[in-house]
A and B are shown apart, each in its own frame.
Chain A
């Protein structure tokens, strides 16, 4: 398993696996219930992770210059 595949699995683990442990309203973060904030945080992290995957591929000559 390459590093980029492990990175690709991270959003699945964080978003789906994590929700079971954070299913509560408080503390509010950025005005949102904690469980909603958790999902939103992982949406943003997904974007950053895919940027990293692109960069890794770019070094292999396969990715897009961003």
Chain B
């Protein structure tokens, strides 16, 4: 029993690390733009599909695949920013969100046109079996996932707190009007935030796909939903919150799946989100400025 509990906690934290990465990207965009980017996951999916296509055609190596995923995701992210967010900067948040949904449809169809099957193999990070630590097992991918998540968080921390770009990003998050008044070039900040968020999403997507060993068209919706859920659980627009939310989501899912099965796992996550929103809409996090 205790062994199972600890094993589930390990598995939950592994999944949670991936959720946290997804949520950080989501949160960066929400924190800076105060917009929800539904195309976040589909852009990641397109990146993974582009890499898979290259793999199917040319059998490239792991690092090349990772680089391809990153490049294609950032490119797709830039496309989303130009078409859905730049034009609606000072206007309706709803219009921007619906536009990002429309582009989601585009990206998903584009990906499935290039690779129409329901499932494609993706080269795994590590071919061997899981590592055993006494009574527990841990997949090698999980360690990579943790390590990369920690590294990505540290890199983001440096970027946000040690660079001029980071300073302007934090200024825009905290005081958007003042940031504009002191002459921060908002459009340029937005574009770069999108690029950083997409890159983080691509890292998460690559790790998820490589540890699953496959890509499916579900990846887009899955990434958007998990990233959004983790972001909301941790508190809208807060970066440490996104990490906590991601890990919490992973833990909740792992434990409720073990006790009640996969359907109740999803049900629990959504119920928690609903309850948090209904009971503490402003208590756990700051109120939106112009959501």
Chain A complexes with chain B: no
